[in-house]
Structure 1
Amino acid sequence: MKLVYCLLFAIYCSLLLSGCSVEKEKTYRQTERVMGTTMTVTVVSPSERKAKDAVEAAFAEVKRLDKLLSHFSQDSELSAINRASGVNPVKVSPETLEVIKKAVDIARLTGGAFDPTIGPVVKLWDFKLKTIPAKKEIKNALALVDYRKVRINESASEIFLEKRGMELNLGGIAKGYAADRAVEAIKAKGIEAALVAIAGDIKGFGLNHGGIPWKVGIQNPRPVENSAGSQIPKDQEMLTTPSAGDIMASFDLKDRAVSTSGDYQRFFVKEGERYHHILNPETGQPAKGLISVTVIASDGYMADALSTGVFVLGPERGIKLLESLGLGGIIVDSNNKISIIGDIISSEAL
């Protein structure tokens, strides 16, 4: 499960390089807090009014989706599905049906390494209080994790969780899906180039200001020092945007999406062991073997969910899956060995 609390990518926009007022007027950027994290929309347009309309449409769409898909809000459709688990099907909107169907499809694709029914296990782990659940608690929760018990009735637009106590958690796919929808909302306003970043889930289309590709940087999962030059405490969560010195690699992003899952995003250390938020649906424990996975795909939902699924699968099976799908990626294992899948690096290579 991917709960992103910081911007995992440094986005280098030509706004920073603009030298005259005419150029600055062509790029519009806005940041807001949505889906429990930071969302930034950058739009390139000769029309300020058209750009602002597009930016507003993107944020409105993501906020609308959050009301449907949030597992924090008791009023969301997702919460209604969870409350009715083992009791009755719940009629949902086309968007909720679509994202759950996609989540189950990717669960099947990864053999359950990504599983949207991991909700009961996620609830056991408190990374703020740094508590480790008891083995019995995890065992009981794992009995409720099985994507094959999600019944999707497309004709009736209904979702049913077969077993009482099952819970969907879409944290590993919702932001990528929302980025996809935000991009569509922007395109509907006649915009030909934009970049949407919802925490570490990023999707771009067209060319950046000046006709150059959007450039995205991947955070180093083990930066030696923080921006102040002092050592980062082992039990400190990474809650800030990485500095330029923390960027491991960068590449061009055009008409694609990228997502990263890392064990540095939210974690605590106890007795020398790191406990992070990317949980293995089979064990109920933090996944082992990798420390960072970046996936590049045409769709944000796919990149988002697969970055989690590959992290759980581990290096060998994860690489094989990405290669079989023809997707690009960067995988860093627990020994800091870096594997590059596909031809994705265009500058500042690893």
Structure 2
Amino acid sequence: MTTVLVVNSGSSSLKYRLVDADSGDAVAGGIVERIGEDGLDHTAAVAIMLEEIGALLAERPPIAVGHRVVHGGDLFVAPTLITDAVEADIDALAELAPLHNPGALLGIRAARRAFPALPHVAVFDTAFHQTLPAPAYTYAIDAEVAREHRIRRYGFHGTSHQYVSEQAAAFLGRDLGELKQIVFHLGNGASVTAVDGGRSVETSMGMTPLEGLVMGTRCGDLDPAIPLHLARTAGLSIDDLDVLLNRRSGMLGLAGVSDMRDINERRDAGDAAASLAFDVYVHRLRAYAGAYLAQLGGVDVISFTAGVGENAPRVRAAAMATLGFAGVEIDDERNEAGSRDVRVISTDASAVTVLVVPTDEELAIARLAREFAT
């Protein structure tokens, strides 16, 4: 029996899924929300989870608990068995992810108390990107300042990028080590990664998840002088700028809505702002595709995943429309066909195979955590 409990704990919610790590089946799952309100803390949230799935836990006792942790800095390069010392390191890294790591740590502590006999495993969003070469992760600022304040590119969505690149190789019956891949993880948060032989060699998110592609509410790449300009001329504080760039920008800032389905509905109705937002979004996708083609020296496979990547054929078609020079050729019928399975959307004649690969980060975490069970 290979049941693993996967916990994704944030500051205000605790998501969980009970997964059969062998078959990939979700045995149960749910979410406890409003943590921090009316006396509901993470310990109480875990108690609610136990009430909701207690019978299933008795029938299919987990062999391990896997925890999603957003930021592992440069300390964690792989899934890690959680000890008191590891907890302390996750706590110390909270300065790099103040919105994510503290909530994850509270969930870890509550779950360790609830399941003291099980191995608890931290799976870090940043770990897959620890293979980035120095030229890719180094920012061109004062080196001493960068060292002192841990400023470098870390990258995120690593669990998804790793899972999707491995699934793509398996689907094609190819050796992962032979493939050059570009993976577009396009959800409300979005990132793209160049994967060479199964290793992340370039990724769009940086020290934080704000850099890179245009996202639902985040701006992505931005001239660093713009926040300085707004601070000086508009009197915006650090907190004001944080809210602007993380919560009021991206598609929401451009068109008033963050969901790609709403963007496309408004485009079809003739909304100029939605049309511009879509074009800006696609422009950035094409820019990164071209850059990563150059970094890899060519590509064998391009995969789309996550909410937008899996369900927005118009985005996929537009993003690939200018890559004919690289041998990319999309089959319109395949691209429009709906499916929950891994599928090819390029033509048989395309020199590059373009795929849609549904991501499953919980399953990936479960399988990584399973390796620590004895």
**Same fold? TM cut 0.5:** no
With normalisation by structure 1, the TM-score equals: 0.25
* Bigger Rg, which one: 2
**Structure whose residues are more often helix by fraction:** 2
**Structure whose residues are more often strand by fraction:** 1
Higher relative contact order (CA 8 A, sep 6+): 1
With normalisation by structure 2, the TM-score equals: 0.24
